[in-house]
Structures are given as structure tokens and as C-alpha cells.
Amino acid sequence: MAAPRVEVDGGIMEGGGQILRVSTALSCLLGLPLRVQKIRAGRSTPGLRPQHLSGLEMIRDLCDGQLEGAEIGSTEIMFTPEKIKGGIHTADTKTAGSVCLLMQVSMPCVLFAASPSELRLKGGTNAEMAPQIDYTAMVFKPIVEKFGFTFNCDIKMRGYYPKGGGEVIVRMSPVKQLNPINLTDRGSVTKIYGRAFVAGVLPFKVAKDMAAAAVRCIRKEIRDLYVNIQPVQEPKDQAFGNGNGIIIIAETSTGCLFAGSSLGKRGVNADRVGIEAAEMLLSNLRHGGAVDEYLQDQLIIFMALATGISKIKTGPVTLHTQTAIHFAEQLAKAKFTVKKSEDEEDASKDTYIIECQGIGMTNPNL
């Protein structure tokens, strides 16, 4: 007898693509047939956009599932998952839609596949409203690997707004189960480093200006650390189109990682881009959490699937995180609690502990 279809309201809370990513990944992992309605209902262009569609099609192919209603602009889909399999899986947004968001939806699934997987993801590597690929490689990867798996992320070609054209290949092997994590001890900042890049026709001076402005901004607040931001000209054969941006990372004595990043836009001067990234990093260092605001929501699905109790200390809990928790509870029946940190040094700060009793998902294929 088939499991009853789970109904998901795609218009609540964050109300965007994230609901789709979390719910379809969990549906695929748990074998729950799914109906998602009101997809991106409140957005300026409601319904599925190319990057959401390619993510859905990829999940469907990962498990030989069935997908109905999946077309651009559609606000309702039905998904019926089958068995997750390894092998080579390709997703192409054909736009500057983010490859990092494609990775977010597919990675939890292939961890529980029968054999190793290779994900070939095409689209934007450094796109607005999504993690930059540098963030994924430099911050997300080392932290998420604490759950007890490893993956390899090979950036073949960088792609920027509006054309995309980037390609990233992710390789990973399945695991039996995920370990819980504890990220509550922030430690002290020991180094700050980053990269400021230009690609295509943009002059190298733009990269140097972004880096210099960012360093000056950080210096005002953190004086005793060397800040090493490398200006980079992306090689012609490894970047499609024109773009510029910067990512800055702070590493702590306990191995926590925080980032600030920004992308150049037409008519925005280079200094402004550098300063924006520096200010984002500094605000992530002020809240006392052990993860930055962009890592919070990305860890939720892994915490939900892990065996045992995971804890992370964060700054203010974002709407994306609240949304991920809501659907992890609804679909996976994981138990989350979010409470204000009781540590004395956090008393004056907006610091929270997110705790999760994971469901202890085990890979039936191993």
C-alpha cells in the first residue's frame, strides 16, 4: 500500500525555492510521496523558475521517481520518489541559476544512494541570492563534513549573471549514517583570508580595489590580525562571461568558519563591493554564534537525518532556518528546539542554540 501523499504549502514562511529543496530532498530520502502547492506564491515571478525546475528534475532522476506539474511558472507539483541510485547525474539550469542550490537539494539524497555519485551541475557559480561556489568550497564543505562524509568539488568553469555557463562537478560516496555535530564553541578569530576576483573584460584593478577596501574596513575593527585577501584574475578558459566579486573568511581557534561575500553589479564601484563583504563578515563575527547566517539553514537537513543530538550556536535565527526546521519536523519528524544561549558571554548578544534530536536515517543499501 502506497504511503499517503504529504501536502506542503509552498507559500508559508520563507515562501520560496528553499521549501521546495528541503521538502523534495526529504521526500526522496524518506520515500514520501509529496504534493507542493503555492510554489513561490508571493514572489514577483511566482512558480517554478529554471533553477528550481532543474533541481526537481535532478531529484526525480536520482531516484527514478515520477514528477507531475513540473514546468516553468507552475505553482503545484506532485512527486513520487523511488529508490535512490548513484552514478552520474546532470542538472543544467541553462541560466545563471545557482549550482550551489542544485547541490543543496541533491547532496543529502546521494549520501544515502547505493553507490558513489557524480553530480554535474551547470549554471551560475557566483550568483545573487545564493551561496557563491567559493563559500560552498571554503565554508560549507569543511563544516558539513563534520557529519562524517567527504565530497570533492571540482570547479570546471565559473559562470556569472546573466549568462551562467558555469560547471561544477561534485563527487561523493554514500554513508551508512550521519554523525551528530556540536558547533557551540566559537573560539577566537585566528586568521582572515579571502579572494577578490575579476573575470572577462573587467580590469584587474577592480579586484585590487575590492580587496584593499575590504582590508581597510576590517582593520577598523580587528587590528591585530593580518588580513590576506588575494586579488585574482580568473583564467579565460575557466570563466564564462564577465563578473567580479569577493569572499572573505574568518577562521577561529576551534575551527569555526565565517564568511562575508559580495558580487559586483553594473554601476557599483569596486570599493563598495569590498566594504559590503567586509561588513557582512564583521556582523557575523559580532553575534557570538559558531556558524554564520548562511550556514545555519544549510545544516538543518543534515542535523535532522543524523543519529543522536546535534547542537549549533547561531546569531539571530534566519527565516530560511526557521523554514528548514518547520519542514524537517513536518516531513522527517525530527525534533528541534531553539532557545536563547545561556552562556554568560552571550548575555548581551542575540545568540541562540539550535538543538536537534536526529532521526538516525540509515542507508538501506549499505
- The residues that are catalytic are 320
352 assigned to a ligand binding site:
no
Going by C-alpha positions, the residue among 275, 295, 18, 285 that lies closest to residue 135 is 295
Q: CA–CA separation, 258 vs 315, rounded Å?
A: 12
Q: How far apart (Å, rounded) are the C-alpha atoms in residues 310 and 333?
A: 15
Residue 340 CB neighbours (<10 A)? 12
Please count the other Cβ atoms lying within 10 Å of the Cβ belonging to residue 90.
Answer: 15
298 annotated as ligand-binding:
yes
Cross-strand partners of 115: none
C-alpha cell at 111: 549520501
CA-CA-CA-CA torsion sign (322, 324, 325, 331) = positive
Would you say 294 is a known binding-site residue? Answer: yes
Q: Which residues pair with 153 in a beta bridge?
A: 170
HSE toward the beta carbon, residue 156, CA cutoff 13 A? 13
Residue 4 gets which letter from DSSP?
P
Nearest to 283 by CA among 258, 255, 251: 258
Does the annotation list 161 as a binding residue? no
Contact 167, 353 (CB under 8 A): no
Asked whether residue 296 is marked as a ligand-binding residue, the answer is yes
193 annotated binding-site participant: no
C-beta of residue 358 within 8 angstroms of C-beta of residue 303: yes
Cα 263 to Cα 131, 193, 246, distances in angstroms: 11, 17, 6
Residues in the annotated binding site for ATP: 104, 294-298
Residue numbers in the known binding site are: 104, 294-298
